[in-house]
Amino acid sequence: MPQRMPFIAGNWKMYKTAAEAARTAQDLLARLGLGTISGVEVMIAPPYTALDAVGRVLAQSSVQLGAQNVFWADEGAYTGEVAPGMLADLGCRFVLIGHSERRQYFGETDESVGRRISAALRHGLAPVMCIGETEAQRDAGQTFSVLDKQITDGLRNQISDRLGTLVIAYEPVWAIGTGKTATADQAQEAHRFIRGKLAELLGDSFAAATRIVYGGSVKPGNIVELMAMPDIDGALVGGASLKAETFADIVRYRAQ
């Protein structure tokens, strides 16, 4: 089985000015020991307006820069949107796609997620495709069918030879920002299902090599048990990534 490098990502959502974000990034690097983090890939996704400032701070480190969304066209008359090439130009290596807040508030669909994934891959950005069921869907026993549709529709017709850079973030909507974490067993069950689905769609070796990370109220107190699960390859961290100290503790989960 291929070794999957653990991936710990911070999603700063709509928090922090450019100066605040740069300061937090500096603080994080100071705590992690500038570029010497080994055995884990770390990514920060600040707001668009802070990408440049944070990118400059991260430039001499191994911490990667990511964006929180991307539009699917290469350029054009799309007021207010940001193109994938613009993100790559600022040094982004990753981009979150289809976060549940985008789906909930901004009309993101599995079809638009698919278009954004293609655009990201075209420009060498690694897509972090976010999927997950709502509380009502879980209660109705629809978790697996929802995940099935999100994966199948989001990855339909993706023919890029860069698809291997894809990361999947399983984020049960009921666990995001609520303090309710899925238990490690619940998360593992969903991750195992997702890996099985990837195997069905893209083959066993693709599935075995693809990182599937968990998101939803991850904190220093639950990261260790999550990471102990065989199909959990990392975390997408919202609230607990806003403070360098807490995020650094999550990144260094092995030291706990």
Catalytic residues: 99, 171
Q: Which of 152, 156, 160 is closest to 125 using CA atoms?
A: 160
How many residues bind ligand PGA, per CB under 6 A? 13
Contacts of 212 (CB under 8 A, 6+ apart): 167, 168, 169, 170, 191, 194, 195, 231, 232, 233
Check binding of 108 to ligand PGA (CB under 6 A). no
Would you give the end-to-end CA distance of the chain in angstroms?
26
Residue recorded with tokens 């040094």: 91
Q: What is the DSSP letter of 163?
A: G
CA atoms within 13 A on the CB side of 164: 9
Nearer to ligand PGA, 100 or 165 (CB): 100
Shortest distance (Å) from residue 72 CB to ligand PGA: 21
Q: How far is the CB of 226 from ligand PGA (least distance, A)?
A: 12
Task: Please report the sign of the dihedral spanned by the C-alpha atoms of residue 227, residue 250, residue 101, residue 111.
Answer: negative
Please identify, using beta-carbon distances, which residue of 71 and 174 lies nearer to ligand PGA: 174
What is the closest distance, in whole angstroms, from the C-beta atom of residue 102 to ligand PGA in the complex?
10
Please report whether residue 6 would count as binding ligand PGA according to CB under 6 A. no
State the nearest-atom distance from the C-beta of 3 to ligand PGA, in Å. 25
Identity of the residue numbered 201: L
Near ligand PGA in 187-246, by CB under 6 A? 215-218, 236-240
Q: Which residues contact ligand PGA (rule: CB under 6 A)?
A: 11, 171, 176-177, 215-218, 236-240
